[in-house]
Amino acid sequence: MTALLGSTALAAGMVAALLATGAWTATARGRAPALARRATWLMLAGALVACGALEVALLTHDFSVRYVAENGGRDVPLLFTVTGLWSALEGSLLLWLLVLCGYAVLLARRVPEQARHLHPVAMAVVSAVAAAFFALALLAGNAFSRVWPVPADGPGPNPLLQDHPAMGIHPPLLYVGFLGLLVPFAYATAALVTGDTGPAWLAASRRWTLVAWSALTAGIVLGSWWAYAVLGWGGYWAWDPVENASLLPWLTATALLHSALISTRRPALRLWSLSLAGATFVLVLVGTFLTRSGVLASVHSFTQSPLGPALLAIAVGVLAGFTGLLVWRADRLGAQVPVGPPVSRGAAVVANNLLLVSLAFTVLLGTVYPLLAEAVSGARLSVGAPYFNRSAPPFALALVLLMAVGPLAATDGERPSALLRRMALPGAVALAVVAVLGLGGARGPTAILACGLGAFVVASVVVQVTGHLRTAQRDRTAGRLRTAAGVLHRRRRLYGGLLAHVGIALAAVAVAASSSWSVTAEGTLRVGDTVAAGDASARLVSLDRQGSSAGMSTRAVLETSRGRLAPELRFFPKRAVLVSSPAIASSARGDLYLTLVEAAEDGRSARVRLTVSPLVPWLWVAGAVIALGGLVAAWPSRRRTGRTPTPLVAATSPAAVSAAVPAAGSPQDRPDLVAAP
Amino acid sequence: MSALALAGLVGVAAWLALSTGLGRDLRDLPSGLVGQPAPALAGRTLSGDSLDLVDLRGSVVLVNVWAAWCAPCREELPVLVAAQRGLGDRGLRVVGIDTRDGERQARELLAEFGGDPASSLVDPQGRLAVQWGAIGVPETFLLDAAGTVRARRIGPVTAQWVDDNVVPLLAP
Amino acid sequence: MKRATAVVAALLLGGAALLGLWRSTTPSAPLSLQARVEQVSAGLRCPTCAGESVAVSQAASARAARAEVQDQLEAGRSASQVRAWFAERYGVWVLLDPPARGAGLPLNVLPVVAVVGGGALLLAPRRHRSRAAVALCVAAAGVLGLASVATTSPADRTRAGAAVPVVAAAASASAPSSNAPGADAARTAVALEDAGRLTEAAQAYRSALEAAPGDPTLSVRLGFDLLRSGDADGAAAAVRPVLQRAPDLAQAVLVLGLAQRATGDPAATPTLQRFLALAPQDPAAATVQELLLR
């Protein structure tokens, strides 16, 4: 019954999506949007009913549905029964559709004042993409196919996914991020279709991009937290294809957010920004294909299914279509304006884009290289963490350097000496950090540079913000606190960006410290024995085995310098999976990470691995700070309506801007760039 | 027009590059050992005796990595037993590496199919399998009389494979 | 006056930072065996798992591979020798960071082409921009072409290449003496070779040889390095001058023999036999014997 309902809902959703595509196209030609809106709502209803039906089937243990038979189980805790919806391929496709249709309805409700003419075209693009995915869910990977005979019980979700509450929100957040990036793509397509390649499409999609970017950031960091806390190898980023697939669109979306800052002013970057919006969504699709089709072996990858070719067809179709549009509109993309003065914020953004895109290229190359090499020459190669760990840091360090220098530079160019003077104090802090760490005996130039550059970013942000506040206090008309709050609120776009920069600097330091300065020791311990790593040690107190219906587990209790910890080794017979659950003691200085590698048959000794990883918890904090920065920058203006676009404000140096804050406003503050409902 | 052409070109290129992985099979993995002298192989067998591959120089040898817990190994065991019986006179020796296995279960399985425990080396930690570059079980290496690896098969051996690869190396 | 103080302060601070960076490059203590096992294992693909490294995986085969790495490192083999040992058995597929030659070349060169070429494109004056774009495409195509030529070259080359790491183990016994001219360059070269950066190592050997022309040890090491990177002709050329002066230097004879074998020269067999006659106890002798039997 639920299965029939689900399949029907998917079919209805597909019809609605096709209808919506047609209706929005008609709206673009002047029809009233009423029908199109209704069809869009219907799409959402279809996705909601389909997800609901599968949830009901999971919760009622309806094992006649193949998906439930393969991923549900009677003794699975409620939380993981609910998250079972996205713990395997077909179900996660339904969640994907739900998020996609949710975006479609929200987007349909918000017609941006200055991009009215783009809106219906963008909606048609979103609806067409939704139609493609409805078709995929219905025809290639239907979660509601039946199984006969009906089994009495299922194996439950993959035990690795049952282990951590982060699993509850990590995939939905990732999907909110991935599919939010459909919005800039849709508006970019609309800009190309209508021929209005000016800044309107960027303005209309800016906040959507920021929200999606924040969600994607949070999703990526939660994913690495999950890997760290569940997989038990002591790391949080393995450069696995699934991780890379989420990083790639994040990198190009970051580039897009930055190029959007200046491409309103520089027509030379119009083509570039449009390409970035296109590339970002194509990377979302390619990443989904790579990780969901089984072409790349990965810990996370789902098994092979007919979805592969269908996903590839969607990705290739979108790529080819967008390329065609770009070439078709080449004459309107205005490549006549030079990039700009070499010492300016614009130049920093251009350099940032070059680095981000080159880094994305490198990560993509490494990820798909085994496929490419085999296609071209038949050679079988593997590309893994050592390659990325070697290739990525130079890009990352250069980007952090730009984060420190770029925001200090004047918007429209200045003499280098002026920039140098503003850089003096933060630069001195950075050099001092490098000198102290290096002479203090820390090892690894990359890690030390990362710490120095991180300090550079933070100091440069502090210098800027205090500068703004001081100027505002000098000219204040209200109370001290109110003035400060006013500045912070008014310039939230700039400060959101700077907050994200601080978060990334923090992440750079945490990654550098934990990867370069962690100490590991492994030993076979009898009860009473001790293993020591760095200044930490762990003594085996007891070792006990337990058997339950869900499986066998061996628990080692160890007395450490930070209290008792109990790593476990668990065997899930239903899936024949052995999971080594680590025990972690966190503090601001870093983590003590204990895993049980092996337990002897006689239960007397165990092989234990002890890792001391400095600063790891700061990585999770950094993720929250970065995402928060994106949300601050996206926070809507209180004045929502009725403002006609002001002409672009002439650029001034940050110093001049801060001197004239209440009057002039910088490009970051332009209220006309805020999408009005 | 050029827009269409370029879009088509980009699409075809992307499709070609990315679709190679669809339906790819691990069995195509080339072995680094084929054409190379075989690695050393010596140790205790399931019957408790010792066995050294060096002593078999001059025979054509099938080195078979197997385990009692592996279902496809049960499938191929009759083929290997038959090959040893039928082709032993012409200089074929089948040597097993019983990898990460319980010795009792392994002996029981051999007894069931008439295999020889004296020609299977025990490999409780899987070290011998690694030294031979084995990717999984079952996996079989074919050595010629000079001790050079001539072929490697991932997955169960079939009678057809034996006819095609092993027989031509044997004395008539 | 104030300006002068600022400059002096900046110089001091910058100098201290540079000094700190330089100090951080020298390891305080040699890595523990466990850390080295971890490092090597992280670069090897677990043969039975989906895309995990031997260091990370819990699979039994990964555990066995880790034990193998530990045994070999304990026996004194270098990290690159252990990697070569695995690549010989499993193919290059087992290495998670493919060597920067043959099919692995574009992987290492294209990112550099992207960032350098992209930067050049941005900085190029507008009227030269299309020319710069063409140059960028040509560079990328060149890398790809080079790679496909290298991967489709005769099988002989890869076969000789696979045998060389084994024999090269023998050569590492005679490291260049420390106070000879060019000793620094030689040490750099050995380190580079150890890290698998063969092309750079060859360059370093060549510059070391400029300081000490005709040094037999350096020439032989250069020869092994070139053999490993597939340049058999270069390897033969590297040891020929040495052999003219010292025709009985076994290691040089070995390089020449392997090089001849790689190029299909029929003189290979007598040369390798001469090596066996000169140094029957050499650790490489057994492998050479096997090569001759084929």
Q: Do A320 and B14 touch (CB under 8 A)?
A: yes
The C-alpha atoms of residue C132 and residue C116 are separated, in whole angstroms, by 11
| pLDDT tens-digit map of A596-621 | 888 887 778 888 989 999 999 999 99
pLDDT for A649 equals 35
Model pLDDT, residue A377: 75
DSSP letter for each residue of B49-62: -EEEGGGGTTSEEE
Nearest residue on chain C to B127, alpha-carbon basis: C64
Identify the CA nearest to A308 among candidates A332, A340, A285, A324: A285
Distance CA A577, CA A573 (A): 7
Model confidence at A17: pLDDT above 70? yes
Length of chain B: 172
C166 has a pLDDT exceeding 50: no
Q: Which is it for the CA torsion B69, C41, A520, A582, positive or negative?
A: negative
- Average pLDDT rounded to a whole number, residues B139-157: 89
Residue B85 CB partners (closer than 8 Å, separation 6+)? none
Q: Which residue has the higher pLDDT, C200 or C61?
A: C61
What angle separates helix A200-226 from helix A616-634, to the nearest 10 degrees?
Answer: 160
pLDDT value of residue B75: 86
Ranked by mean pLDDT, which of A479-483, B12-16, C89-93 comes out on top? C89-93
Give the range with max mean pLDDT: A367-376, B127-136, C191-200.
Answer: B127-136
Q: Quick check: C5 contacting A, CB < 8 Å?
A: no
Q: B residues 59-98 near C, CB within 8 Å?
A: none
Shortest CA gap A634–chain B (Å) = 34
Question: Which residues in chain A are closer than 8 Å to B10, comparing Cβ atoms?
Answer: 319-320, 323
Question: End-to-end CA distance of chain C, in Å?
Answer: 80
- State whether residue B30 sits within 8 Å of chain A by CB: yes
pLDDT value of residue C184: 60
How far is residue A437's CA from residue A445's CA, in Å, rounded to a whole number?
10
CB contact under 8 A, A295 and B22: yes
pTM over 0.95: no
Task: Give the residue on A whose Cα is nearest the Cα of C16.
Answer: A435
The Cα–Cα gap between C146 and A650 comes to: 51
Could you say which of A358, A424, A434 has the minimum Cβ distance to residue C21?
Answer: A434
- Stretch among A289-303, A563-577, C123-137 having the lowest mean pLDDT: A289-303
Mean pLDDT value of segment A334-360:
79
The region of weakest confidence among A627-631, B66-70, C226-230 is: C226-230
Selected residue with higher pLDDT from A475 and A653: A475
| Residue B15 in this model has a pLDDT that exceeds 90 | no
Please name which of C203, C174, C173 lies closest in space to residue C188, comparing C-alpha atoms. C203
* Among A146, A204, A211, CA closest to A173: A211
Q: Which residues of C touch B125 (CB under 8 A)?
A: 63-64, 67
Q: Is the peptide bond preceding residue A149 cis, with omega within 30 degrees of 0?
A: yes
Asked if C17 is an interface residue toward chain A (Cβ–Cβ < 8 A), one would say: yes
Residue C26's CB is within 10 A of a number of other CB atoms, namely 7
A172 near A105, Cβ under 8 Å?
no
Which of A225, A233, A227 is closest to A586 using CA atoms?
A225
pLDDT confidence of A129, banded at 50, 70, 90? very high
Going by pLDDT thresholds of 50, 70 and 90, the confidence category of residue C283 is low
Q: How confident is the model at residue A628 (pLDDT cuts 50, 70, 90)?
A: very high
Q: Picking from A329-343, A410-424, A513-527, B128-142, which range would have the lowest pLDDT averaged per residue?
A: A329-343
* Banded model confidence at residue A645, pLDDT cuts 50, 70, 90: very low
Is B127's pLDDT higher than 50? Answer: yes
Contact B130 C65 (CB under 8 A): yes
Minimal C-alpha gap between B81 and chain A (Å): 31
Phi, psi of B66 (to 5 degrees): -150, 175
CA distance linking residue C163 with residue C291, whole number of Å: 9
Cα of B11 to nearest chain A Cα, Å? 5
Mean pLDDT over C260-270 rounds to 82
φ, ψ for residue A587, nearest 5 deg:
-150, 175
Listed range (B57-61, C98-102, C289-293) with the worst mean pLDDT: C289-293
Kindly determine whether residue C90 and residue B31, on different chains, have CB atoms separated by under 8 Å.
yes
Residue of A nearest to B31 (CA): A380
What pLDDT was estimated at residue B121? 93
- Beta-carbon separation of C67 and B36 below 8 A: no
How far is Cα B45 from Cα B47, in angstroms, rounded to an integer?
5
Substitution target from A357, A434, A446, A568 for chain C, most C beta carbons within 10 A: A434
Lowest model confidence (mean pLDDT) among A104-108, A340-344, C110-114: A340-344
Instruction: Say yes or no to pLDDT of C175 above 60.
Output: no
Q: What would the mean pLDDT of A61-76 be, rounded to a whole number? A: 85
Q: Is the pLDDT of residue B36 over 70?
A: yes
Contact B32 C90 (CB under 8 A): yes
Q: Examine the pLDDT at C153 and tell me if it is beyond 80.
A: no
Interface of C with A in 251-280 (CB under 8 A): none
Token pair listed for A58: 């999971």
Pairing of β B92-99 and β B60-66? parallel
Averaged pLDDT for residues A217-229: 91
pLDDT of residue C284: 72
The pLDDT score that the predictor gives to residue A643 is 39
Does the beta-carbon distance from A312 to B16 stay under 8 Å? no
Under the banding of pLDDT at 50, 70 and 90, the label for residue A219 is very high
Convert B9-26 into a string of H (helix), E (strand) and C (coil): HHHHHHHHHHHCCCCCCH
Give the mutation candidate from A290, A382, A423 for the C interface (greatest C CB count, under 10 A): A382
Please say if the pLDDT value at position C291 is more than 70: yes
Beta strand pairing call for A605-614 and A519-526: antiparallel
Q: Testing the interface with A: which of B4, B24, B26, B31 to mutate, by most A Cβ within 10 A?
A: B24
